[in-house]
Amino acid sequence: MTRCIITDAAVITALGNSLEALWQGLMAGATAIRPVHRFPVDSYPAKIAACIDQLKPSDGRSMLDWLLNRLLAGTGPVPPDSLVITATTKAGIDNLELLRRGKPADFRDVLPYSITETVSRKLGLSAGGININAACASSTIAVAHGAALIASGRAESVLICCGDLVTEFVFAGFSALKALSAVPCRPFDRNRQGLSLGEGVAALHLMNAERAAREKRRRLGTVLGWGVANDASHITAPARSGRGLIQAIEQALKTAGRKAEEIAVVNAHGTGTVYNDLMELTAFRKVFGDRTVPLYSVKGAIGHTLGAAGGIEVALGLKTLAAQTAPPTVGLRDPMDEARLLVSAEPQPFSGGCLLTTNSGFGGINAALILGN
């Protein structure tokens, strides 16, 4: 297989406008989960989320369009023949809210594929692309698909671009599911009460190793392996056995040609919901046995960014490998018994060149990536 290199990574979250800002915020134990002012929350039990400051629509376009402008301005040059793979769960859903309230808005922004067209147009790319809409594993699967295309020789350059927003439509939906925590989420804590929503965007440029070297591109890391599976258990709840996640991880290890013993650190989905966190720990224990592998979740700091979560966490995983330090799990106070010695509220040094990052979503979807430095 042709090696898949990550040559560029750009991120915007509620902790700042860059990957470095996100990293520094995490390492300081900061959280961007605060009271929501973007829309009325008086009627909702939870009233907090990680929203990006000063984010607002203009000229009838979605707030996501404005975010993408900021993101792509910080992305390095992308070859015109690059394939675009985007990922989102709700795209410009804020425009649907505006339209339903009789306000002017571009209805095309509501369609998930609109992001693909927008990114291609803004960067002048000619190869077209696709959008992945697979719940909260969307951008993880987008990276997996891009890496598979490069590994098989069907593409030389792929731009992954992902994003989702905190809107009242999304907030009300998760509230109706009783999935939101009234306090900032606490992944892997015995007193966790649910998730906190967040928003963000990320861009990752994947290239085959030969072209990256020829064009003198920097090498931030390598996508070594990938796996995707569905546990077919429930429309929203994960299989408590973790069977879907286990299968995805095993596929990723096989694709990478690595053994579980070579994984040095884990970026977990870690939403702070009762069943997700327990399911993940069950799966990790099955994969790693009694071996203690440091793991972390970023959602106590930036909230659950839905379809953007995987892309943001891949970018952060590159920083984690470079620093040989797992960032703290913000919000953790009293770890679950199953999480003791694995998760920490402090940075965790480690030694090794392979990181496992996983995401799971509604409908039983599970995805796993193995990154190398």
Could you read off the pLDDT of 113-143 as tens digits, one per residue? Answer: 999 999 999 999 999 999 999 999 999 999 9
Q: What is the mean pLDDT of residues 81-86?
A: 97
> pLDDT exceeding 70 applies to what percent of the chain?
100
DSSP code for 363 = G
Could you read off the pLDDT of 319-369 as tens digits, one per residue? Answer: 999 999 999 999 999 999 999 999 999 999 999 999 999 999 998 999 999
Report d(CA 134, CA 126) in Å as an integer: 25
pLDDT band at 57 (very low <50, low <70, confident <90, very high): confident
CA nearest 268: which of 133, 206, 288? 288
Report d(CA 202, CA 206) in Å as an integer: 13
Report d(CA 328, CA 343) in Å as an integer: 8
Report d(CA 75, CA 312) in Å as an integer: 14
Other CB atoms within 10 A of residue 235 CB: 7
pLDDT band at 2 (very low <50, low <70, confident <90, very high): confident
Please give the pLDDT value at position 310. 98
pLDDT at 58 over 90: no
Size (the chain), residues: 373
Report d(CA 362, CA 135) in Å as an integer: 6
Q: Global pTM?
A: 0.97
Please give the pLDDT value at position 239. 86
Cα atoms found within 13 Å of the Cα of residue 271, Cβ hemisphere only:
28
Which amino acid appears at position 183 of this protein?
V
Q: What is the mean pLDDT of residues 139-154?
A: 98
Could you read off the pLDDT of 203-250 as tens digits, one per residue? Answer: 999 999 999 999 999 999 999 999 999 998 888 888 889 999 999 999
CA nearest 328: which of 278, 294, 366, 352? 294
Domains of the chain, CATH where assigned: 4-214 (3.40.47.10), 223-372 (3.40.47.10)
Please give the pLDDT value at position 1. 73
Please give the pLDDT value at position 307. 98
What average pLDDT does the chain have? 96
372 token code pair: 């190398």
Report d(CA 16, CA 298) in Å as an integer: 14
Task: Please provide the DSSP assignment of 197-219 as one string.
Answer: BB-EEEEEEEEEHHHHHHTT---
Please give the pLDDT value at position 235. 84
Could you read off the pLDDT of 65-82 as tens digits, one per residue? Answer: 999 999 999 898 999 999
pLDDT at 31 over 80: yes
pLDDT at 59 over 90: no
106 token code pair: 């571009």
Buried b (16+ CB within 10 A) or exposed e, 16-38: bbebeebbebbeebebbbbebeb
pLDDT band at 300 (very low <50, low <70, confident <90, very high): very high
